[in-house]
Structure 1
Amino acid sequence: MTQALTERTTRELRDRTEMLLRGLGAVPPEPGSLPARTPITGGELASLPPSSIIDVDLAIGAADRAFREWRSVPAPQRAALVRRLAALLTEHQDELAELVTLEAGKITAEARGEVQEMIDICEFAIGLSRQLYGRTMPSERPGHRLMETWHPLGVVGVISAFNFPVAVWAWNTALALVCGDTVVWKPSETTPLTALACHTLLRRAAMEVGADPEVHQLIQGAAEVGTRLVDDPRVALVSATGSVRMGRTVAPRVAARFGRCLLELGGNNAAIVTPSADLDLAARAIVFAAAGTAGQRCTTMRRLIVHTSVVGPLLDRVAAAYRQLRVGNPLDEGVLVGPLINSQGYLGMQSALRRALEDGGELVCGGERVEGFGEDAFYVRPALVRMPAQTAVVREETFAPILYAMTYNDLDAAIELHNGVPQGLSSSLFTQDQREAERFLAADGSDCGIANINIGTSGAEIGGAFGGEKETGGGRESGSDSWKAYMRRATNTVNYSTELPLAQGIRFE
């Protein structure tokens, strides 16, 4: 693509972005020093002024004041706001999905799927608003009732990453709102426009149902903005999604002020393929999990541990599929792999491939840059690398489409290899042997927060709690009982007798 053609395409995308923002009710921002670039061409879609430290303080203060009223609104009434947000997301699904594609580079199907996740978590949260259950426990003292109740926690700070620019925000925000919390959102500085659109829709929903729009605040900018949010004692919970390096910074700062953290950090996800596996099914699952979103998911499959008896046929299938994957403009029909987010992603991928080859790896296919999209756009073919061992580079997370394949002979050794990385997010086992499946799911099997049988490592549903162990951070978002992270628990004892017996039979007379 010539420079002139790249510039013309960027202008067209810029005009389209402005049209989408207006259609979503968001006034295009005034120019500022925070650029919003599209990975499709590498050009600038818009720029906007970043939040100042004063802006951050004002946003937290507004959220804190709104919390004083919002916490007393009955939870089913709070759900009215989330219900209206879900309706607006459904109405504008196509426009918001296209904005995700323009700003994050996802193919259309994945972008629409991400917006659908937002709608799904809103529906989950609406039902949850009538199920914030506590327990009643038997008291050892006669004439006493012992129980627990759950109360709104406070201001929730949400820090999200570029690869899921809207879904992760919705996971946190929908649950936080029905739990009675208010939200201050700091999105990735790489995807400020999708954040502006979502913030606008939520504010509109609040006004339409008579809720206080101040329950949600948006701050934009780089690290110093996030640091101010993390350090503020008015922020009861910081839910941060990003790299392990980011988590190592956030966690001690929040702990220093005795705040709460919910961390969703790195993943280095693997699949074990056993001799009994359905290889055609496994290959399809592996290709999507490893190449989808150009390898830029925290649940991307990065390691493949295959029994020696089936490694040849399986890698032949995966390599054949890789060679057929259409890499290109994510707005084009039939494209399955879009661009990397920026040059740093590309350089990181090339560095990892060089290290893998230096460690004795064999490049089966892929890894090269796809030209023709301009010098500032970074499209690559997903890489399949056969490794002799799990070397240092394999144990690291490279946020790009590299799949390292290794072999095993004994399932116990395969599980040990699988668990032998610092991260612990998602995992898979492909087998038709029930014993092997149960072994993988047992306490001494996969050490990840997500363990799957005969599906890939990505594509989690909102009904189950999402998160991982070890350097992944230990947080849980979305479904199951993850709502408890957004609330505080109180243990209550009610004495309805005329006596005052003490616990443990103590007498004090």
Structure 2
Amino acid sequence: MAILLSLGRFTLGRAVGVGFAKINGISLIRRTMHLQQNQAFVNGKWVGARSGETFEITNPANEQVIGTVPDMDVDDVNEAIGSAYDAFYDKGWHNSTAKERAALLKKWFHLLEINRQEIARIMTAESGKPIAESLGEISYGNSFVEWFAEEARRIYGEIVPTPQANRQMMLVKQPVGVAGLITPWNFPHAMITRKASAAIAAGCTVVIKPAEDTPLTALALTKLAEEAGFPKGVFNVITSSRKNAASIGELLCKSEKVAAISFTGSTEVGRLLYKQCSDGIKRIGLELGGNAPFIVFSSADLDKAVTGAMNSKFRNCGQTCISANRFLIQDEIHDEFIARLTEKIKALKIGDGSHDGVQIGPLINHSQVNKVTEFVEDAKQKGAHVVYGGHQLSQHGALFFEPTIITHLRDDMRLYKEEIFGPVVSVIRFKTEEEALQIANASQRGLAGYFYSNDLNQVFRVSKLLETGMIGINEGLISSAEAAFGGIKESGIGREGSKYGIDEYVYIKYLCYGSLE
């Protein structure tokens, strides 16, 4: 049996397996397929590196090898860029209709939904995050595909009133061309779907470079994109180890065939890519590191604040760019907040994310474990007080670190100033609203911020004065497909998700029709 839908020049769907699933009230045939791939995807074909080189992917929970993928270099990536370029210009993707692109994205969305359990299994195995979180990320990531499938048909232009009677002025939006997408390991599904679905909805073709720690999830998504029927060259995924990552990033930024770059990752790497894109004055979107303040004022509902702290801090073991990083707690409620939070943290179940009920998995790699350990030791040596935790958990595995609460922080400690990307709650006591804002804004990172208050006047004041691109007000989970995701200062430029996510992949063309009668 098969699901087939023909729209214009593109036929969607292929033969599928046995069983049924229902999504949004629509019965679909359930597919039974193995999604773990060991090759990259270029011009509609599964390929290895020209050199024949591969690299291993390991499970952070036990450091066992779970697969190998091609270790591609710039020659391989040049081929992928060429296929994306040809698909856009020579094979007509730039002339595809919004309806056709929307239909392809909807088909991809349905396949992603049907295969969510298999994708989650792969994601947990290579990233270490608990299976419940992997499933949550899949729901989140899939929502972008659904959202941009709908937004594809709402890329509107304008007719502008003209100052001359014999002229007509129009503004139209057109796709920029090939988009290079460089994605991180902490959200290996959602960061690809958030970028790729927006680019494809706009009419671009894509070359995706997933993080070297988590390429298997990317390739699983690619297998389903292939099944959805994307034309050859529209959707390309290349894999590489760390040794080739820098040269590939530079090629994507400097290639004249690549019109736009979207990168999610560290500010340091983002700064380098920004410089490399400057040679060609290339379109670039950057979602970079954060240093999110989490402020709890004395008027706050402490139960809600503690729940928000747990949600914001410990998702993916603290390895998210919008994790609460600096906990600013007002004097009057400081001790009670710490006591309540400690009890919650003590109850967390730690272990292999594939096991039922696990809430905290391992950190992604040894580099990250070393960083978290160094930050904690630096604070301890300079007089900070460890309320709970503070150690590696070797009984679970080499990459596990205990959920930790540290108080009595000072501004000469790394925990005070830098993003830790780990399960450490760094607490700073403050007296006044002005002091809290001064501390919160004394950072060049401005991605997300959170605060808890039941004082309406304070809510409006702090919302206006807190220097971040996104704010959770009495809320610790702020991401959704409908929201404009992005930061200010050194946390990036551009926005992802929402209706503004399309803007990263289109340009406005002004048309002036003259000599009209």
Structure 1 and Structure 2 fold alike (TM over 0.5): yes
Q: Which residue among 76, 89, 96 is the counterpart of 2:112?
A: 89
1:401 aligns to 2:420 (yes or no): no
Shift of 1:56: 0.6
- Where does residue 218 of structure 2 map in the other structure? 195
Shift of 1:388: 3.9
AA in 2 matched with 1:412: E
The 1:311–1:248 alpha-carbon spacing in structure 2 relative to 1, beyond 3 Å, is: same
1:383 aligns to 2:404 (yes or no): yes
- Where does residue 434 of structure 1 map in the other structure? 456
Once the two structures are superposed, what CA deviation does each residue of 1:101-138 show, in whole Å capped at 9, x if it has no partner?
00101111110111112221111111111210122222
The 1:72–1:38 alpha-carbon spacing in structure 2 relative to 1, beyond 3 Å, is: same
Partner of 1:213, secondary structure, is coil
- Where does residue 466 of structure 1 map in the other structure? 485
- Where does residue 41 of structure 1 map in the other structure? 62
Q: Which residue among 435, 453, 472 is the counterpart of 1:413?
A: 435
Query: How many Å separate the matches in 2 of 1:59 and 1:388?
Result: 49
Partner of 2:113, secondary structure, is helix
1:24-173 matches, cutoff 5 A? 24-25=34-35, 27-29=37-39, 32-68=53-89, 69-173=92-196
Query: How many Å separate the matches in 1 of 2:53 and 2:390?
Result: 36
Shift of 1:145: 2.7
Shift of 1:213: 2.9
Whether the 8 Å CA contact 1:322–1:366 is kept in 2: the answer is no
AA in 2 matched with 1:346: V
Among all aligned residue pairs of Structure 1 and Structure 2, give the percentage whose two residues are the same amino acid. 29
- Where does residue 318 of structure 1 map in the other structure? 341
Q: Which residue among 271, 276, 286 is the counterpart of 1:248?
A: 271
Where do 5+ consecutive residues of structure 1 fail to align?
Answer: 1-20, 499-509
Shift of 1:472: 0.9
- Where does residue 18 of structure 1 map in the other structure? none
AA in 1 matched with 2:128: G
1:353 aligns to 2:363 (yes or no): no
Whether the 8 Å CA contact 1:327–1:380 is kept in 2: the answer is no
Whether the 8 Å CA contact 1:76–1:178 is kept in 2: the answer is no
Partner of 1:214, secondary structure, is coil
Once the two structures are superposed, what CA deviation does each residue of 1:445-475 show, in whole Å capped at 9, x if it has no partner?
111110121012x441110111111111123
Whether the 8 Å CA contact 1:24–1:92 is kept in 2: the answer is no
Q: Which residue among 444, 458, 474 is the counterpart of 1:422?
A: 444
The 1:338–1:388 alpha-carbon spacing in structure 2 relative to 1, beyond 3 Å, is: closer
Query: How many Å separate the matches in 2 of 1:205 and 1:482?
Result: 23
Query: How many Å separate the matches in 2 of 1:282 and 1:26?
Result: 40
AA in 1 matched with 2:491: T
- Where does residue 501 of structure 1 map in the other structure? none
AA in 2 matched with 1:245: E
The 1:425–1:49 alpha-carbon spacing in structure 2 relative to 1, beyond 3 Å, is: same
Shift of 1:25: 4.5
The 1:185–1:372 alpha-carbon spacing in structure 2 relative to 1, beyond 3 Å, is: same
Partner of 1:77, secondary structure, is helix
Shift of 1:320: 1.2
Whether the 8 Å CA contact 2:451–2:472 is kept in 1: the answer is yes
- Where does residue 33 of structure 2 map in the other structure? 23
Shift of 1:495: 2.9
Query: How many Å separate the matches in 1 of 2:412 and 2:426?
Result: 10
Whether the 8 Å CA contact 2:140–2:190 is kept in 1: the answer is yes
Q: Which residue among 251, 256, 260 is the counterpart of 1:237?
A: 260
Partner of 2:493, secondary structure, is coil
The 1:290–1:26 alpha-carbon spacing in structure 2 relative to 1, beyond 3 Å, is: closer
The 1:26–1:103 alpha-carbon spacing in structure 2 relative to 1, beyond 3 Å, is: closer
1:453 aligns to 2:453 (yes or no): no
Shift of 1:179: 0.5
Q: Which moved more, 1:474-483 or 1:412-421?
A: 474-483
Whether the 8 Å CA contact 2:35–2:119 is kept in 1: the answer is no
Query: How many Å separate the matches in 2 of 1:53 and 1:485?
Result: 25
AA in 1 matched with 2:185: F
Shift of 1:410: 1.5
- Where does residue 482 of structure 1 map in the other structure? 501
Once the two structures are superposed, what CA deviation does each residue of 1:379-426 show, in whole Å capped at 9, x if it has no partner?
111111113433351211122112211122221221111111121111
Shift of 1:26: 5.0
Whether the 8 Å CA contact 1:165–1:194 is kept in 2: the answer is yes
Query: How many Å separate the matches in 1 of 2:374 and 2:337?
Result: 26
Task: Give TM-score scaled by structure 1 length.
Answer: 0.89
Where do 5+ consecutive residues of structure 2 fail to align?
Answer: 1-30, 40-47
Query: How many Å separate the matches in 2 of 1:319 and 1:484?
Result: 43
State the number of aligned residues: 469
Whether the 8 Å CA contact 1:86–1:118 is kept in 2: the answer is no
Shift of 1:346: 0.8
Q: Which residue among 184, 209, 228 is the counterpart of 1:186?
A: 209
RMSD: 1.7
- Where does residue 492 of structure 1 map in the other structure? 511
Whether the 8 Å CA contact 1:219–1:225 is kept in 2: the answer is no
Query: How many Å separate the matches in 2 of 1:334 and 1:277?
Result: 30
Query: How many Å separate the matches in 1 of 2:345 and 2:35?
Result: 40
The 1:311–1:251 alpha-carbon spacing in structure 2 relative to 1, beyond 3 Å, is: same
AA in 1 matched with 2:447: L
Query: How many Å separate the matches in 1 of 2:408 and 2:290?
Result: 19
The 1:127–1:336 alpha-carbon spacing in structure 2 relative to 1, beyond 3 Å, is: same
Query: How many Å separate the matches in 1 of 2:38 and 2:377?
Result: 42
Q: Which moved more, 1:91-100 or 1:398-407?
A: 398-407
Shift of 1:345: 1.0
AA in 1 matched with 2:474: N
Partner of 1:23, secondary structure, is coil
Query: How many Å separate the matches in 1 of 2:312 and 2:403?
Result: 11
Q: Which residue among 244, 260, 280 is the counterpart of 2:283?
A: 260
Whether the 8 Å CA contact 2:409–2:426 is kept in 1: the answer is no
Task: Give TM-score scaled by structure 2 length.
Answer: 0.88
Whether the 8 Å CA contact 1:267–1:472 is kept in 2: the answer is yes
Once the two structures are superposed, what CA deviation does each residue of 1:186-214 show, in whole Å capped at 9, x if it has no partner?
000111211211111111212xxxx4132
The 1:229–1:497 alpha-carbon spacing in structure 2 relative to 1, beyond 3 Å, is: closer
Whether the 8 Å CA contact 1:135–1:149 is kept in 2: the answer is yes
Shift of 1:497: 3.2
Once the two structures are superposed, what CA deviation does each residue of 1:298-327 show, in whole Å capped at 9, x if it has no partner?
111111111101111111111111111111
AA in 1 matched with 2:149: I
- Where does residue 12 of structure 2 map in the other structure? none
Partner of 1:277, secondary structure, is coil
Shift of 1:496: 5.6
